[in-house]
Amino acid sequence: MRKFLSRYKIFIITFGILCVVIMWSIYSLLKPEKKLAIYQPDMVNNELVDTTMQYVRKYHKIADFKLINQNGDTITNKNYNDKIYIADFFFTTCATICPIMTDHMVKIQNRIKDDPEVLLLSHTVMPRTDTVAQLKRYAEEKGVIDEKWNLVTGNKKQIYDLARKSYLAAKSEGDGGKYDMVHTENFVLVDKNRQIRGFYDGTNPEAIEDLMADINILKQEYQD
């Protein structure tokens, strides 16, 4: 037996390595490639979706928008053309979930600061008090990189409609006549076609890691 093993040692080792390579190749070919879902309004909790959108099952995209950022610059959907981006809703004086969300958004910013494909977009839900000057102070305090992250304010109805009809990320409050809303902790991942590809708890560090992993999956989708 020892003589046999000694004589065919190189062959046995080579054959074993070849078997491992073949098995790994077969596994790689058969393993389904992960692809992110494209979220439609009817897939999301009705509380977060405007009643006019709750039964939409296909073709949902983020609507055109025109808002003002922390530098007083006009920001539109065109600034996000051919970009993957993460959107959320907040207000600068929020003392509950917003500080945690913003801290996590800062960490995301620092991880994607050299990635030209990925941007950030935060909408205030209190445009009356979150003026350009207030957003600028907040941006400087948090270390916002202007080229990567826009904090935007503007017409309250437009922000309300974006939250409820496009990003599906806010609850309605009151009779709706004043466009009052309660923002959620959701970070929304939007692809280059303005489609929603994921929702993540912006207060949860593990969800942030899931978000970063999904960004890579989405980028691979475009490379393929």
Global pTM value: 0.84
- What pLDDT does residue 4 have? 46
Residue 12 has pLDDT above 80, yes or no: no
Sequence-ordered alpha helix ranges (H) in 46-192? 98-112, 132-142, 156-161
pLDDT score for 2: 54
Backbone phi and psi for residue 222, each to the nearest 5 degrees, phi listed first: -75, -30
Question: Mean pLDDT in the chain?
Answer: 89
Closest CA to 194 of 96, 92, 59: 59
* pLDDT recorded at residue 174: 58
Residue among 90, 68, 103 at smallest CA distance from 186:
90
User: How much is the average pLDDT of 171-193?
Assistant: 85
Model confidence band, residue 173 (pLDDT cutoffs 50, 70, 90): confident
> Residue 40: is its pLDDT beyond 50?
yes
Which pLDDT does position 175 carry in this prediction?
55
Q: Supply the pLDDT for residue 34.
A: 78
Average pLDDT estimate for 198-203? 98
pLDDT at 8 over 60: no
Strand ranges (DSSP E) for the chain?
66-68, 74-76, 84-90, 118-124, 149-152, 170-172, 181-183, 186-190, 196-201
Q: Which helix (H) or strand (E) holds 13?
A: helix 9-30
User: Lowest-confidence range among 6-15, 37-46, 66-75, 98-107?
Assistant: 6-15
Do you know the residue count of the chain? 224
CB 202 within 8 A of CB 97: yes
Do the beta carbons of residue 53 and residue 165 sit within 8 Å?
Answer: yes
Kindly report the CATH class assigned to 41-223. alpha beta
Task: Give the pLDDT confidence of 43-57 residue by residue, as tens digits.
Answer: 999 999 999 999 999
Please give the distance of CA 1 from its chain centroid, rounded to a whole number: 61
What pLDDT does residue 31 have? Answer: 47
Q: What is the pLDDT of residues 67-79, one digit of tens each?
A: 999 999 999 999 9
Q: Give the CA count within 13 Å in the CB-facing half-sphere of 133.
A: 2
CA 93 distance to own-chain centroid: 23
